[in-house]
Amino acid sequence: MATDRMEQIVALCKRRGFVFQSSEIYGGLKSCWDYGPLGVELKRNVKDAWWRYMVRGRPDVVGIDCSILMHPKVWETSGHIAGFNDPMVDCKKCKARFRADTLDAQRCPEKPSKKPGECEGELTAPRQFNLMFKTFMGPVEDASAIVYLRPETAQGIFVNFKNVCDTSRMRPPFGIAQQGKSFRNEIVTENFIFRSREFEQMELEFFCPPAEAMPWYEYWRKARLDWFLGLGVRAENLRLRDHAQDELAHYSAACADVEYQFPFGWKELEGIANRTDFDLKRHSEATGKDLAWFDDITRERWIPYVIEPALGVDRAFLAFLCDAWAEDEIDGEARSVLRFHPALAPIKAGIFPLVKKEGLPEIGHAIEKELSREFSVFYDEKGAIGRRYRRQDECGTPWCITVDFQTKDDQTVTVRHRDDCRQERLSIAALAGFIRERCLG
């Protein structure tokens, strides 16, 4: 059942243009994905919803956009060069490589019904594999030119802490947020876009006085769950899992994962950690730059503690998609529907003249022109109206606007709701307000 559901979601993504395999006409590049016309809108809406909630809507958070390539010493200081590793084993028979800590969840490529090693191949002892992608900066390919593709966006924020303090008049408690690509050379990639080697992250580093770190940690745990719930994710598919003491990174005082119940099981969607003063302290020691905060009211100097909610865009995309997808029946006919929150829906409204004549297309195009100033809309005049509705249901479009003969008399249209197929009559002038109000996340 679960595999079926995932297979159907992957097929829908391809069929409707949400996600394609990268370089597909060349046979594809494993674990790399391209977002198609609907996918790119959904992804943008997920990122916008996060940015509105985490940055624009708050006086205590500002944004930043750092480069992917950073000084290689950053990664030495952060501990990534020495410690951003996963344990790896090789099968001596089939030569496949596996993550040693999740062997139970992996399959032998030669005998896909078996776990690694069960194909009678002997597994090597585990050794550490560093997950950072390396490349060279400039024309000389030697050790002095090595740079890394960032494996997280957080370090760009830490190294800019002082710049932001000096220029933005923010004072702790305050946060710096960033969205952008990260790269990890994962030993195994899995579950469609859930784990890939190139992905996007949305991270907030929230700097606060050390004594306030745990209350802020509690605050962000709740705020992050509320964000998903506010965008319509079903409560029964979300949970917070506290890390056990032996799971915590050495610098972390507390950590929890927001987990989502994907068709392939409960998995991490987002991590929320109390990173203490580890990062600022280390960068301060490595550079000799003072990254402490001097509180001119209490006359105290301290290095801020950091609370970090870190979410993967692609994982959030997949969770919203899995949560929204359903199959139901309308008038005895099966339909596939994506019940996205209107804020996330890639297309907000379909605009359909009932027939392709008698001035109805002209009215439809005028509505399209007006609404597209603010929303992504889709005009379609071909085919039976029921078919046009059904197609938009599977794209997740919350409303279909039908222009009919009555429109010519009274400037009203039919608005058909995706979720319950209810129809109501609205004036053309009210449409933008109607959509805007319902899209507020």
Residue ranges binding ligand ATP (CB under 6 A) = 152, 184, 186, 195-196, 199, 201, 268-271, 310-312, 314-315
Alpha helices by DSSP H, listed for 113-242, are 154-159, 161-168, 213-230
Q: Is the distance from CB of 347 to CB of 392 less than 8 angstroms?
A: yes
Determine the Cα–Cα distance for residues 216 and 237; give it in Å rounded to an integer: 25
User: Which CB, 79 or 209, lies closer to ligand ATP?
Assistant: 79
Using CB positions, name the residue nearest to ligand ATP.
312
Compute the least distance from the CB of residue 186 to ligand ATP, in Å: 5
Nearer to ligand ATP, 196 or 392 (CB): 196
Taking the least distance from each CB to ligand ATP, the nearer of 90 and 270 is 270
Q: Closest distance between ligand ATP and the C-beta of residue 312, in Å?
A: 3
Tell me the closest approach of the beta carbon of residue 70 to ligand ATP, in angstroms: 17
- Report in angstroms how near the CB of residue 292 gets to ligand ATP at its nearest: 26
How far is C-alpha 266 from the geometric centre of its chain's CA atoms? Answer: 17
Nearer to ligand ATP, 312 or 342 (CB): 312
Q: Minimum CB separation from ligand ATP for residue 304, in Å?
A: 20
Cβ proximity to ligand ATP: between 143 and 244 the closer is: 244
User: Smallest distance, Å, CB 197 to ligand ATP?
Assistant: 7
Residues whose CB is less than 8 angstroms from the CB of residue 368 and which lie 6 or more positions away in sequence, other chains included: 351, 377, 379
Element (H, E) at 34: strand 33-35
Q: How far is the CB of 258 from ligand ATP (least distance, A)?
A: 8
- What secondary structure letter does DSSP report for 190? B
CA gap 332, 265 in Å, rounded: 32
Question: Which H or E run contains 89?
Answer: strand 85-90
Q: How far apart are CA 47 and CA 400, in angstroms?
A: 25
Q: What are the b/e assignments for 226-238, b being 16+ CB within 10 Å?
A: ebbeebbbeeebb
Q: Which is nearer to ligand ATP, 205 or 314 (CB)?
A: 314
What is the amino acid identity at position 93?
K
Q: How far is the CB of 311 from ligand ATP (least distance, A)?
A: 5
Residues 380-402, buried b or exposed e (16+ Cβ, 10 A)?
Answer: bbeeebeebbbbbbbbbbbbbbb
Residue 93 vs 282, nearer CB to ligand ATP? 282
**Smallest distance, Å, CB 273 to ligand ATP?**
7
Q: Which residue, among 184, 155, 270, has the nearest Cα to 220 in the 3D structure?
A: 270
CA angle (74 as vertex; 178, 250 as ends), nearest 5? 85
In the complex with ligand ATP, the residue whose CB is nearer, 201 or 276, is 201
C-beta of 96 vs 311, nearer to ligand ATP: 311
User: What DSSP state is assigned to residue 60?
Assistant: T
Q: Which residues contact 331 (CB under 8 A, 6 or more apart)?
A: none
| Nearest-approach distance from CB 241 to ligand ATP, in angstroms | 11
| Residue closer to ligand ATP, measured from CB, 75 or 378 | 75
SS3 per residue for 230-260: HCCCCHHHEEEEECCHHHCCCCCCEEEEEEE
